[in-house]
Chain A
Amino acid sequence: MKRTLSSAALVSVLLTAAGAGVVAQRGGASAPALQVNPLWPEPLPNHWVLGSVTGVSVDARDHVWVAHRGADSLEGGEKGMTLTPPTSSLCCAAAPFVLQFDADGKLLSNFGGPGQGYQWPQSPGSLLVDAKNNVWIAAAGLEPAPPGSGRGRGGVDTTAAGVAAAARGTAAPTGPADAHVLKFSSDGKFLLQIGTPGKIEGPESQTTLNRPAAVAVDTAASEVYVADSGNHRIVVFNSETGAYKRHWGAYGEKPTAAGGGAYDPAAPPSRQFRDVTCVELAKDGMLYVCDRTSNRIQVFQKDGKFVKEGIISKNTRGATVTGQFGVVSSHGSVWDIAFSSDAAQQHIFVADGHDKKVLIVQRDTLAEVGSLGDGGRQPGRFLAVGSLATDSRGNLYTGEQHHGKRVQKFVPGARR
């Protein structure tokens, strides 16, 4: 306990000295001020490292849950202990796919990987811990992502880098393409699968999904909202049985398999979703949806009636590059959102992954009022920031994909 207190005080001193990680504000509107805690979480045991972080969620006890892609997103030099032959006995190995930390950054538990009755995702997407403390994981699929048509195809990487990775034994996991959502108990016991890997039947299907990216759970109604990225829709199921309830596309209209096509900042907003990568339920019952490569948030009622939309960083487009662990794709400005911790949820944090910032928008107007961070590998900076969560005390947690491979904690703090 003493250690915790003294290191917290020290962090505060360090931050004051460095003056970094502070929120920038625009237009005189107020925005939450946050500073990075550079010493969170505690170093992992067993020479474990994080791969590309795809999901961050905070449970009712303010514990932080993390999902990452594991070994298939690590370069050879990051997983030398698990290569054949090993290139190191000291560094490193992928941490288990799902990790639970307490608010102080202590690792409490972990699980993940193949098991009886389900297929572990080729590439996990978002993770959500619901009010009953169940852990939901979207099977979001591998890159590459064809621009405008959702996430990865879920196939084997046939690029030169992919073939080389296969030869090194470091290729991405094979198996039927990700098209499902998984529900586990908090200790990793499999509870429910919605959708079937490899089975993709389009946006009118009541039983199948297409590279879903995220879920939200309405516990009172026993409903789970799925951001069904590849089908360009939101689809709702019974969260206990998986039974279909309803679905809709952008503006509450009928989704199409073609989606929104390639994004053009000069064109009018697409009537279809391109790349639905988040779905979040506010306390007032409004449902917020990220259309990542359309640079927009759309707001709905729970029944799918369209309420409004906000365009964020309109001119942001994207890039797809091939690295040592395959193709990484970075498109659009609205990768994930989280509501501010105040009772009214006055603000929304937006993970603008391609621009490497967390933007802060007012929830009522969806107007940008501030931002946090910028590109870089130092604490408080970002690369491919793609998942966000807030806790009850005003702290913000961020997850970085691609080569970012971190979960960072930002704590409330006035600028000094």
Chain B
Amino acid sequence: MKRTRNLLVGAGFLALLAALGIAQSTLQRTAAAQAQGAAQAPRFEVDPMWPKPLPNGWYLGQTIGVSVDAQDHVWIIHRAASMDAVEAAADEGTGTCCKKTPPVLEFDQAGNLLRHWGGEDGTGYQWPASNHGLTIDHKGNIWIGGNGAANDGHILKFTQDGKFLMQVGIKQAGLGPDSNSQERFYLVAKVSVDARTNEVYVADGYGNRRVVVIDGDTGKFKRYWGAYGNKPSDEAAPYRYTNGSVPLQQFRGPVHCADISVDNLIYVCDRTSDRLQVFTREGKFQKEIFVAPDSLGDGSTWDVAFSKDAQQKYLYLADGRNQKLRIYDRQSLTELTNFGEGGHYPGQFYSMHSIAVDSKGNLYTTETYQGRRVQKFTYKGLGPVMKKEQGTVWPRRTTN
């Protein structure tokens, strides 16, 4: 209504409108915010009908990775095995819908499903017991982690057609943590790739408590570190994190993201510590923030992505515990605003797990557990922050 339209009105009209006696609280707040030089932040609204329905009676399981390629195609990875007998009734022969779906899926901007593959072992590689995370690198290749307990100690690299390129580490029954291994990982959440050095930053992970850097072509281990840049240790962390407790000197884990920014900083999610730590490429600790530190259970720092401007001025953080997409000023790590609510409707989340941004600044989210979907949030440009918690961002109601 009027409020929404007012936000679209140019600043030049504000005085005129005020003179006409249209004195609305939002209008006043907008004017006041601009007068005080209020922070600007990216605005989004959900596209409720993206993507198009899957063909073939297919259905998404826990959707636990997303990345965008150079053509702005959106790639996701999900766990087909997480579909239960009710969901996979067509496979089970008890009903007409639905069927387990290949784990790696490519969508175009219109939401059409394009390529789809994965899920089986192949020559030279072992598909993870529980695939986890998907990243497209600067060469267009696809990296996949895995967190199948007592099994997955490896990451995989494929072409976009699903042709196997490299496995680093091993998959082996009975595997356990070894956060100082130079040969394999344990339960990797995701990777990010530095286009300038062809180095891969591995969030290792659900079992190990470290970030590992490997060469993107050879897989050779180059360096690794734990929380604060310390030598990582597999000594068990106290299970129950409490708000205000002395920060652990090790990652509590899962180490759920390790994303490199344009200015060569590595942002690491220590999920159940509710914290984000920032490092140089060499693993020198820079700073940390705590996010909704009263969050227990799964923790609040699930994934990060950067805004599309050249400086990556904004950092997006997926808080899958509180179902908020949090927007930070990246330099100061000050939270500017957030959106999202718990629920199964468009723009809401249940366990928002992974996020990615396309070239136009649009944001994609995936949900694990019983969320089981990918959503698109259309970038609506920068605007003054009017509300710290925006709630569900439906079309035309992004800020009010």
Contacts and interface: CB of A to CB of B under 8 A. Distances in A.
A44 B60 contact: no
Nearest to A384: B86
Interface residues of A, number: 62
Contact of A376 (B4, B50, B98, B350): B98
B87 to A, nearest CB: 7
Contacts of A160: none
Given A75-B369, A374-B98, A354 B60 contact: no
Interface stretch (B29-37, B215-223, B370-378): B370-378
Contacts of B343: 43-44, 49-50, 92
Interface string A1-19: 1110011001000110111
A44 to B, nearest CB: 7
A281 B348 CA distance: 37
Interface string B67-103: 0000000000000000011110100111111100000
Given A47-B342, A88-B295, A319-B85, A378 B348 contact: no
B48 A38 contact: yes
Nearest to B394: A39
B49 interface: yes
A151 interface: no
A319 B89 contact: yes
Contacts of B347: 43
A404 interface: yes
B190 interface: no
A88 B1 contact: no
A90 interface: yes
Contacts of A43: 341, 343, 345, 347-348, 391-392, 394
Contacts of A38: 48-49, 345-346
Contacts of B52: 18-20
B298 interface: yes
A406 interface: yes
Contacts of A402: 86
A76 B297 CA distance: 9
B87 A375 contact: yes
A326 B347 CA distance: 27
Given A14-B49, A375-B59, A6 B396 contact: yes
A406 to B, nearest CB: 5
A333 B97 CA distance: 12
Given A77-B369, A318-B94, 7 more contacts: A7-B395, A88-B321, A90-B292, A316-B96, A319-B86, A355-B95, A379-B346
10 contacts: A19-B52, A38-B345, A47-B341, A50-B343, A88-B294, A321-B84, A330-B86, A356-B89, A357-B97, A376-B53
Interface of A: 1-3, 6-7, 10, 14-15, 17-20, 38-39, 43-44, 47, 49-50, 75-78, 80, 85-92, 313, 316-321, 323, 328, 330, 333, 354-357, 374-381, 383-384, 402-406
